[in-house]
Copies of this chain bind each other. A is one copy, B any other.
Amino acid sequence: MKRSELIKQIRTKQSFLCVGLDPDLAKIPKHLLELEDPVFEFNKGIIDATKDFAVAYKPNLAFYECLGIQGWKSFQKTIEYIPKDCLVIADAKRGDIGNTSLYYAKTFFETYNCDALTIAPYMGSDSVKPFLNHENKWAVVLAMTSNQGAKDFQFIESKKTPLFESVVRKCIEWGTSEQIMFVVGATRSSDIAKIRALAPNHFFLVPGVGAQGGSLDEVVKYGMNSDCGLLVNSSRGIIYADTTEDFKVGAKKEASKIQSAMDMHLRRLS
């Protein structure tokens, strides 16, 4: 998906919501477990319930891989089921030496035809660049994550520059805002502003709103740009809003609530 198409979708749906598809067999509604492919049936229900309110879906690969080959089948069916007007982000946190990264790019951009893939930057340029050669596909590079452990390395300072800033500075040398997005956690708003100053045009994929304590208002205040520039993710808050047979109703309600708040923020933009 082109950047301009993503922006158009955001305006059409008045939403910058990304729904995280993290199907956990221990948490999904019990009645689905009797079906042939519970993971896909769950995702299908969630997608049906939320597609009017979401511009992106983000399946987290760990939840598919742990089921072995059946999990990959569910992943593939899910990707194919997501409406074509939505961005598909494979949340797989890949990254390796150049030759290997080429094959990861092939996996997610060709074999599974996803639009975007999350990338861990620790191994540097040759681990990121192979993901930039696919037209209208995105490398979503971890910059500042929302988890507790983010502090261990991402905030280590060298000449007063924390590591996450060095990652952003380097990445914007390697690729444009048509090729790279950044994962920017919602939990530290002043740092969102720092990254926005460095990368004014890049989209940010923002986890950590809701359950992890981040605030949508703060993310918008410090992270939004004139094209919106944000995809705010919610996984558990939406998909497990209701874990009974009525899970679609619960997911729809929650997604709709978030979309309404986003709509208000987007109205101020235009």
Contacts and interface: CB of A to CB of B under 8 A. Distances in A.
Nearest to A96: B93
A191 interface: no
Contact of A69 (B69, B91, B96, B150): B69
A149 B163 contact: no
B163 A150 contact: no
A104 interface: yes
B154 A157 contact: no
Contact of A148 (B93, B104, B125): B125
A125 B152 contact: yes
Contacts of A66: 103-104, 106-107, 110-111
A62 B124 contact: no
Interface string A205-241: 0000000000000000000000000000000000000
Interface residues of A, number: 56
Given A93-B95, A153-B166, A111 B67 contact: yes
Given A124-B149, A124-B153, A163-B156, A104 B142 contact: no
A166 to B, nearest CB: 6
Contact of A126 (B126, B147, B163): B147
B145 A103 contact: no
A126 B153 contact: no
**Of A67, A98, A103, which is in contact with the most chain B CB atoms at under 10 Å from its CB?**
A103
Interface in A152-185: 152-154, 156-158, 163, 166-167, 170
Interface string A63-103: 10111110011001000000000000001011111101101
Interface string A47-73: 000000000000010110111110011
B63 A69 contact: no
A127 interface: yes
A212 to B, nearest CB: 9
Nearest 3 Cβ contacts at the A-B interface: A124-B149, A124-B152, A62-B103
Interface of A: 22, 24, 60, 62-63, 65-69, 72-73, 76, 91, 93-98, 100-101, 103-104, 106-107, 110-112, 120-128, 142, 145-154, 156-158, 163, 166-167, 170
